[in-house]
Structure 1
């Protein structure tokens, strides 16, 4: 048992404290080729003793270090002690895990890309308040960085940001590491990640394996977190801009001319120089469609509603269900049975119908008038 605890990463002092034996005894057991099957242990009874194997499994194997959560779990199993003794017992394990998982993780070329968001906060652009977010992707081997500011962290923006990062890097890595984003995974069942269906399709389309950090182990994506802090400290602070487009233009110029040319603190080599060794997988010929998807029922008068507005189609679609695809640039396309039937931003007729409906005319009266003309 002592060797097993040592191999899991516990220090000699922590093992001695946990088992109530001398450190010399622990050291002897660890280094002895044939350790005795039994050892003398100080008699020490605790209400927590029956639950320690369960707690060790939850901490060392499942990565759970939330004392409130573990307290609730063992209470369900019959524990009648207090929280203090539990927290004291957990402390050496928590310290051991912290030391273990802050070891720097180095990757091979093309092996991994780390991704994360930063909530920048509210800014005023063209007289309007918007919530600004920063998306950052970092290649694990070269430390090559891509970043872009957006006004949303939803799944559609995440996928579009990933596409642009792949294009910027000139290819696709084998794995992409995420935080526990709801846009990537729907949660976990008994420790197994339940991937979001649309995001899983996106990952399959580009041929990368998605990975999410295990709970309480955010250090595994430390490269991208350091990149975020670097961008915020050395680019964003003090930068003036009038639009998001201008901000991103300045950001991408800075990435090309400064951030990716400066020697990395760990490797000592500029990311652009190491980038040539990445050997990323080629991009597909066509981009994945990151549009917002929404199904709408066309009423019998040919109208349908979308985002609080009414639109009109020809009578042949009355009573049918159509698919609305809205791109991130605002373009809206309508589909019926897989075929595009209208493009709202270019169909002047449809736009005119919508304007008349907004002014108070009924959809049917507008449609009848158009048919007579």
Structure 2
């Protein structure tokens, strides 16, 4: 629309210059063009040039042959026209037939679709797509599996690093569990893991993968493969992928795959609390009110096509999988466990009877160790055995701790021995009670563990009264760090009377 742009520019510049010559110079066009455009009272309108075609004189005949009772195809019409003197090619005939098929008679467009609304509990649709996702500071190809209940439009999703048969079967079962039950029918696409043959030109029944049929039997549902090259058949499951990409994937990054799955599931569940644009209902409410009760119960276990591998737990409570070590609870030390790697990143651990133990994400590198301190709590010492750590813990835990260590250091060779014994009793008493009794032990010179336990007995028998809280007792300023360290002169004085020290 160059003329329209020129006309608008000339009108604008001329209003400022009031000169055709100046307008032409500014816009770098001729004065005649400026004059012509100024003479137009209305903006120029684009008019498409009509070109003649060799089929123009035959159009009425083509329409007649396309309709009843002839219903000729393009090749037959081309042959008939050639006999009547048509000298052109077959291309213009097919282009004209495309318009005829849309406008003439009872022709129905190939895009026409009958919307099918399934009753609650009847159908779920399953599919997946792939995204480039920033996981662990690098972009990875992630496969997003999704399932939607056709009636309520409630959705469930999960992500994987693989899209093999194991991952597909696992995703179907996980998503059904997230939806809380099984539908009578599962509408699927045609991957080889599910469908072996679905020829749209054949009248033969669809050939499903035997493992897919076993999975369907295990779940209690029936597979229904949609026609090839007909995505509108499963349109309900196609549209959520665009929403997930635009509203969740773009602009987000994730520490690992477990975080991605957790956040995506939460995001989709929140989305299901919004009104659906087609049903005008909230999917989660629709599901709870009308569909959940009609779903079939979930099976007790999961169908799997591969056996789990076994490993023996090492004495330091680690399991070695693919050159990496992962800690497990110490009660499994020396026992044989089973494991499987799910979705290409999730390691699931089971005992010898295939009871689930735990799961964790596979380390992306080799020869790494992943340790969880909680796995060692059953055998971990309640109090540190390191002397420096005992001193730090005792002084940080109790206000009278520094006083005790300073006083005990003048009396005992190993004051931290008694400090450790006192801290082992902490589980039985409150921090205030222990702190006040430590102060009394220092004042009454009952700092050994026997003397301290006798103080505890007096407190338990009601013979020893304490302040209600540490705020009611006299505050004791902490000693400097140097007071916690015994000077070497102490040992020199000790050795003066002991000949063995000089040897």
Short-chain TM bin: 0.5 to 0.7
Match of 1:111 in 2: 122
Match of 1:287 in 2: 302
Instruction: Report the Cα offset of residue 148 of structure 1.
Output: 1.3
TM-score (norm 1): 0.56
1:188-233, CA deviations, whole angstroms, 9 ceiling, x for partnerless residues? 3634311011111111111111111112321011111111112222
Distance change (3 Å), C-alpha of 1:48 and 1:259: same
Match of 1:168 in 2: 178
Residue 259 of structure 1 pairs with residue 271 of structure 2: yes
Instruction: Report the Cα offset of residue 289 of structure 1.
Output: 2.2
Residue 193 of structure 1 pairs with residue 209 of structure 2: no
Match of 1:273 in 2: 285
- Partners of 1:292 and 1:221 in 2: CA distance: 33
Match of 1:203 in 2: 216
- Partners of 2:64 and 2:165 in 1: CA distance: 46
1:46-90, CA deviations, whole angstroms, 9 ceiling, x for partnerless residues? 7447xxxxxxxxxxxxxxxxxxxxxxxxxxxxxxx9787678767
1:224-255, CA deviations, whole angstroms, 9 ceiling, x for partnerless residues? 11111122222222223111111111111122
- Partners of 2:126 and 2:175 in 1: CA distance: 10
Q: Higher strand fraction: Structure 1 or Structure 2?
A: 1
CA contact (8 A) 2:146 2:158 kept: yes
- Output aligned runs, 1:294-333, within 5 Å: 326-328=340-342, 329-330=346-347
CA contact (8 A) 1:118 1:134 kept: yes
Question: Is there any run of 5+ residues in structure 1 with no aligned partner, and where?
Answer: 1-15, 27-38, 50-80, 295-305, 309-323, 341-354, 356-373
- Partners of 2:74 and 2:154 in 1: CA distance: 52
- Output aligned runs, 1:1-373, within 5 Å: 17=63, 19-21=65-67, 47-48=75-76, 92=101, 96-101=108-113, 103-121=114-132, 123-126=133-136, 130-188=140-198, 190-191=202-203, 192-256=205-269, 258-276=270-288, 277-278=290-291, 279-289=294-304, 291=306, 326-328=340-342, 329-330=346-347
- Partners of 1:45 and 1:207 in 2: CA distance: 47
- Partners of 1:217 and 1:18 in 2: CA distance: 32
CA contact (8 A) 1:187 1:195 kept: yes
SS in 2 for 1:100: coil
- Partners of 2:287 and 2:64 in 1: CA distance: 47
CA contact (8 A) 2:182 2:219 kept: yes
Distance change (3 Å), C-alpha of 1:234 and 1:250: same
- Partners of 1:245 and 1:98 in 2: CA distance: 43
1:294-333, CA deviations, whole angstroms, 9 ceiling, x for partnerless residues? 9xxxxxxxxxxx999xxxxxxxxxxxxxxx9844244699
Rg bigger for which structure? 2
SS in 1 for 2:162: coil
- Partners of 2:281 and 2:142 in 1: CA distance: 32
CA contact (8 A) 2:118 2:150 kept: yes
Question: Is there any run of 5+ residues in structure 2 with no aligned partner, and where?
Answer: 1-61, 78-88, 310-320, 324-337, 355-366, 368-503
- Partners of 1:112 and 1:272 in 2: CA distance: 16
SS in 2 for 1:96: coil
1:104-135, CA deviations, whole angstroms, 9 ceiling, x for partnerless residues? 221110111111111113x4533565321111
SS in 1 for 2:147: strand
Match of 2:44 in 1: none
CA contact (8 A) 1:291 1:327 kept: no
SS in 2 for 1:135: strand
CA contact (8 A) 2:134 2:252 kept: no
